[in-house]
Structure 1
Amino acid sequence: MKTRHAQLTPYITRDGTEIREMMHPAVHGEFGARHQSLAEARLPAGARSLPHRHARSEEIYHITAGHGRMMLAGDWFDIAPGDTVVIPPGTEHGLDNTGDATLVVLCACSPPYHHDDTELL
């Protein structure tokens, strides 16, 4: 299954981040991945996502553009293109775009992302 970025419709997650599902079983059906999802998250300059956690999903964030800070389990650290962060299930996390351009993050989730698995903190 192949998707084209330009054809993906963005939506806003519970934490306030714009997401494009690049591959998700609920969107791409039997021809997509079954046990994971891959999305692109975009956070405008000066914006912050709400702190949250996922009870079931493990996430991997890979920063592709922009600069910011990430909170993981209460600790804040700088993030930049090329950085990759693992977020275990149940771990509080959030993003703060401290740069002057959009922060772009590839988000891999297993099991696949689901709104009901997002708890705002």
Structure 2
Amino acid sequence: MLIQDIKNLEYFRSGDNCLLCELLHPEKIKGTLPEKLSMNYSIAHAIVPRGEKSLPHRLKSSSEVYYILSGSGKMHIGDESESVCSGQAVYIPPGDVQYIENTGDLDLVFLAIVSPEWSLEDEEVILD
């Protein structure tokens, strides 16, 4: 049985500038697992601090779902923008440029579920 406890994991600044913690990824699990996890997606816990936003980026071949846990913000996908809040799930198609901004008074916290699993080679950060 594998149970990941976020209290035992580390956050880092991802390429798109979110604070990120890999909860489940088939190839990036801390511990002594004998082989790759049998899953074709990854789940990360993400935080966009108050007043910040992620950098525009896209996943070339993976789709992504953001499930908003707390806070509020504005999700940008392609030419569309919508307000988002706790309890909402946002589908992000492969290849679409996206970013999320925190428009609230608290941290914007969400799960980022990527299928197939996130990889550095699949992500492209769009710099002006």
Range into which the TM-score falls when normalised by the shorter chain: over 0.9
| 1:70 to 2:75 alignment | yes
Distance 1:33-1:9 versus aligned 2 partners, 3 A rule:
farther
Counterpart-to-counterpart distance in 1, 2:11 and 2:38:
19
Counterpart-to-counterpart distance in 1, 2:39 and 2:69:
25
Question: What aligned pairs does 1:50-61 form with structure 2 within 5 A after superposition?
Answer: 50-61=55-66
Paired residues of 1:71 and 1:93 also in contact (CA < 8 A): yes
Counterpart-to-counterpart distance in 1, 2:88 and 2:49:
18
Partner of 1:17: 18
Aligned residue pairs total 121
Paired residues of 2:27 and 2:36 also in contact (CA < 8 A): no
Given the two structures, how large is their TM-score scaled by the length of structure 2?
A: 0.89
Q: CA deviation at 1:31?
A: 6.0
Counterpart-to-counterpart distance in 2, 1:34 and 1:13:
22
Q: Which of these residues, 28, 40, 58, is aligned with residue 35 of structure 1?
A: 40
| 1:100 to 2:105 alignment | yes
Greater C-alpha Rg:
2
Aligned residues with identical type, % of pairs: 33
**SS of aligned partner of 1:26:** coil
| 1:49 to 2:50 alignment | no
Root-mean-square deviation (Å): 1.3
Paired residues of 1:13 and 1:115 also in contact (CA < 8 A): no
Counterpart-to-counterpart distance in 1, 2:86 and 2:120:
27
Q: Where do 5+ consecutive residues of structure 1 fail to align?
A: none
Q: Deviations over 1:92-111 (max 9, x none)?
A: 11011011110001111011
Q: Which has the higher helix share?
A: 1
Partner of 1:79: 84
